[in-house]
Structure 1
């Protein structure tokens, strides 16, 4: 058995850096059939523009779209973009730059706009098991599905017990399960403070332990032809990605 889809998340720091990373993924990790690109305010390159740059080199690209950035009368990012087939709609964190205007959109309202104005696009939404009580997050899943979401990208998971629970909760959904290495105390503190992650007692913030955990999750998902995406933050691609191929053999 194998995964049905496997994505790598790449940060669009600049055109040159992005294309270098695309080339690295193709060379180091041929199992990836998809790239997903977050939309980060601290970089000038928007996710959908990054997707356009990537498409000549990688057929499947999923840009993240921040709902709170879309003006009611503005065109939807990527709606008419050649070759684009999928987008991930997230709510979006408030910008650090207070001069950046945002709008009181919900994720669901932007998903509905995409379904109406760009029905050819497959729309994904986010699932976060750490943000609040599970019943609240699952109510959100139902609302996003009702609005037109056809699948979900999860926040990275770091605990096999929680992973199993979430698989049960989302059993009938199309899900890209997130995996991201957490290396060192600063990285761990970031996830705990910013994303409210509760790590298991035996969690080790080392590269070796994170690779082993990701291999275990990928093996589980391979048995059921599942989907995953890798978020290789603060690690070199050549150190993190190649060992994961062992789990996909």
Structure 2
């Protein structure tokens, strides 16, 4: 089964910053999608903030197995309606991979329920990423550690919920450490956050970074049909109980009536 991945990019810095444009002339989203398409098991396309409905229409999301998200400069421009639409699809089983500064995106904060804040420093320092869960599928083919020569520092404390799994931890030249690869599950959807990816550095041209992201897409993919019933809260009338019971008290609702949400 080919995994249908959709790479969402804010697509602002590539159009206004000459350094970023030089590194990613067709946009970071295109670079990421191209690397994913090198894997025969993944078919990746792109969407951007500037498109109608940010490229995330109901139909497009219904055809997406795993959504990858990169944003930074204008998280607030993402419409709340679209955020809720993406969240619903994650609950139904669509995978979500949040990259780098996407930690402050509306969708990540919506699903984490926390501020998702951290320390940072933009100094182009060396980052050593340690694989602390080598048996995890996302770490398949990844060495004990690898180095990114120039990156933005992210440091603890990272105010996210306790993860399901921690796969990678980063150490930076300035001394800070960061939980740079973590997973969660929300409803039927798998979520992976991966830290590297500052736009002024060629991080998405790094083979190990793209190997991790490719692995992440495969891990996040849920092959089961969309669990649309995850949103339901049905009223089960007394006469439809699995075992015979008798009504013993007053009710707020009529039998079968939709409840309050």
Scaled to the shorter chain, the TM-score interval is: 0.3 to 0.5
Q: Which structure carries more helix by proportion?
A: 1
TM-score, normalization: structure 1? 0.33
Decide which structure has greater strand share: 2
Structure of higher CA gyration radius: 2
